[in-house]
Amino acid sequence: MFNAPENWKKLTAQEKRDARFASWMAPDLEFATPDAAQAYKQRIQMIKDATDLKKPERVPVLPWIGVYPTTYGGITAQEAMYDYEKLGTAFRKFNADFLPDGLASAALMGPGKVFDMLDYKIYHWPGHGTPVDTSYQCVEGEYMMADEYDQLINDPSGYFMRTYLPRAFGALAPWQMLGPFTDIIELPFVGLGMIPVGIPPVQEAFKTYLEAGQAVMEWISAVGPIDGASIATLGLPNIIGSFSKAPFDIIGDTMRGTRAIMLDMYRRPDKLLEAMDRLVPIAVEMGVRYATVSDTPMVFIPLHKGADGFMSNKDFQKFYWPTLKAVLLGLIENGTVPYLFVEGGYNQRLDIITDPDIPAGSTIWLFDHTDMKEAKKKLGGWACFGGNVPGSMMKAGTPQDIENYVKELIDGVAQDGGYILANGAVLDDTNPENLHALIDTGKKYGVYK
């Protein structure tokens, strides 16, 4: 937990960020050895220097990690989601053997049991719709209907509780019968307002909800120590303690779905724009809150449906960018660092995202297919950037291919600092030699003179 100093409100965004970094660097945790403590600080210092657009002692190496640690540890993705003993063994081994500069967190696999109990409809997961060794996957659909924009806009929490969550989770379907909390404003309304809570299926739903809460506690009390052990013995900071999303993606990914949101751009553009505006403070608050609770300044933001090919630049500027920008500014204002994962290609968007309203040295952009020379041209001196080692090469290339690719990146775009080495696609499928080539080349070759 990050404890804000008393004068918090008077601090500038930069001072707030420095305070968050200082707290991240001095965790409430007993390191196993002085070396681990030292390495932990050093790693964060490198990330901070890169964020500040300086040259760290060397290029930080922060690969995106998916289900590969399970394969590497000889277990399936399914086992990792259900058997926390096996999960721990696999992730501790992965972190110890590869030593990236950021922790591969066991928490990202998620608690399978909880999804089972709640009957989660929006995703398939290993052994539950997808093969046991594949990552979970989203089931495209309209989980919010076209005529529900006003409900979302008028009362987002109420809409989630009484409409969206009952659709997303089979076990919570009876919550559709609940009334809004805002009914309960005076003594006579208490009795009446509580009636839906007594309906037997609603009671059943709440019981399941409470049990799922218990199962989450079991999970987090297993996962916390797994990650804690890697942090304490290896000195690997946890990077992704917080997350948020672009409002367009919030609605487009798991609420309206791709097809529906794209039709909404034509059929009800004003409602879509209004709803996205409404989600801005919610997305900011979530990012800031998780950053505070987890005591990490980074707010992970994966970017999905604004990539090249998804829409024209004109629509990007109308539908995608304004509310994403507002979220970024809100996060920056609160001293957190938007840590963006720019999935797909952003070659057409580089001029738009390098918006002068966003202060230099306040964001991090890790790319997938974007041309890195162009990215360097546009982002250099404005924001820390990196990424781009292809997922195809991680799977089908040789260690030599990867070494060459990393060296080219470092020679070509990393020389002025403000750079982080990472792969382009979340790592699900590779081999140990290739991953070592990525990490070890970065560490050896990325030392700044």
Partner 1 sequence: MSQELIDAITDMREDDALEITDSLLETNTDPLAILDDCRKAMEIIGQRFEEGDCFVPELILAGEMLKEISVKVKPLIQEQTGTAKKLGKIVFGTVEGDIHDIAKDIVAFMLDINGFEVYDLGVDVPPARFVEKVQETGATVVGLSGFLTLAYDPMKETVAALKAADLPDVKVMIGGGQIDDQIRVYTGADAYGRDAMTAVSLAKQWIGGQ
**Binding at 238: pick from ligand B12, partner 1, none (beta carbon under 5-8 Å per type):** none
C-beta of 109: minimal distance to ligand B12 in Å?
Answer: 9
The closest alpha carbon to 338, from 261, 243, 264, belongs to 243
**Binding at 136: pick from partner 1, ligand B12, none (beta carbon under 5-8 Å per type):** ligand B12
Closer to ligand B12 at the Cβ: 205 or 223?
Answer: 223
C-beta of 368: minimal distance to ligand B12 in Å?
Answer: 4
Closer to partner 1 at the Cβ: 285 or 371?
Answer: 371
Closer to partner 1 at the Cβ: 316 or 382?
Answer: 316
**Binding at 395: pick from ligand B12, partner 1, none (beta carbon under 5-8 Å per type):** partner 1
Closer to partner 1 at the Cβ: 47 or 81?
Answer: 81
**Binding at 267: pick from partner 1, ligand B12, none (beta carbon under 5-8 Å per type):** partner 1
**Binding at 396: pick from partner 1, ligand B12, none (beta carbon under 5-8 Å per type):** partner 1
Give the footprint of partner 1 on this chain (CB under 8 A).
Answer: 67, 124, 129-131, 133-135, 137-140, 258-259, 262-263, 265-267, 309-312, 315, 344, 369, 390-397, 425, 427-430
C-beta of 352: minimal distance to partner 1 in Å?
Answer: 15
Give the footprint of ligand B12 on this chain (CB under 6 A).
Answer: 66, 135-138, 140, 253, 304, 307, 309, 343-344, 368, 391, 424-426, 428
Pairing of strands 364-367, 384-387: parallel
C-beta of 135: minimal distance to ligand B12 in Å?
Answer: 5
Residues 6+ apart with CB under 8 A from 11: 5, 19, 335
Closer to ligand B12 at the Cβ: 49 or 343?
Answer: 343
